[in-house]
Copies of this chain bind each other. A is one copy, B any other.
Amino acid sequence: MARPKLHDEALRVRLLDEAGRLLSEEGPAALSMRRLAKDVGTSTTAVYSLYGSKSALVRAVFLEAFGRFGARLDAVPRSGEPLTDLLRLGIAYRESALADPHLYSVMFGQVIPEFEPEPGDTEASLSTMNPLVDAVQSALAGGLLIPAEAETIAVALWAQAHGLVSLELGGHMPDGFDLAGHYQEMLGAAVRGWFRDPPA
């Protein structure tokens, strides 16, 4: 038979890490197959034998990014008070996105033309929403919210946070608008919209 593989799992991981680093630190334009290969000290062929295409490589980064993002949301300490937790999750959402804007763009924008998520990849992004759904269900169970589907409320709140973050990252906020200063107020209103009765 033949020589042993150099293009092994260790290299696969190194490529994935370096791809994430390139994206995070220099943006989507910096991630090219040539550049990536050179930075980890191998050839483009190696990347292709391990990943097959740029699209597949970026998908790996995409899934990894969702994994980290979901972990950050999971790590938010729970207060036992569902409405408090919803706010905390929203704040953690923005912090996570701002901590690595380029990765957030890979997850939710189509910043890399070669890659767009496949239907099955939707699950990755939906897992992001799990803690949100849990908190909404708790609130519903406590009779705090109007009777609606938990999924509907969760999607609405998710979209509220995503919309704010997305506009902020895209530079679409009004001049001088202090999003950080109004973010909690906005999240609060979004949640309050589903209240059964207004709080005192």
Q: Which residues of A contact B (CB under 8 A)?
A: 28-29, 105, 108-111, 113, 117, 119, 122, 125-126, 129, 148, 151-153, 155-156, 158-164, 166-167, 170-175, 177, 179, 182, 185-186, 188-195, 197-198
Contacts and interface: CB of A to CB of B under 8 A. Distances in A.
Copies of this polypeptide in the complex: 2
Given A111-B113, A153-B189, A163-B164, 4 more contacts: A117-B171, A163-B166, A192-B192, A195-B198
Tell me the interface secondary structure of chain A in the complex. Answer: helix
Contact of A122 (B119, B172, B185): B172
Contacts of A190: 156, 160, 189-190, 193
A52 B118 CA distance: 36
A108 B192 contact: no
A126 B156 contact: no
A197 B194 contact: no
A172 B110 contact: no
A155 B159 CA distance: 13
Contacts of A172: 108, 122, 125-126
Given A161-B163, A163-B162, A192-B193, A155 B177 contact: yes
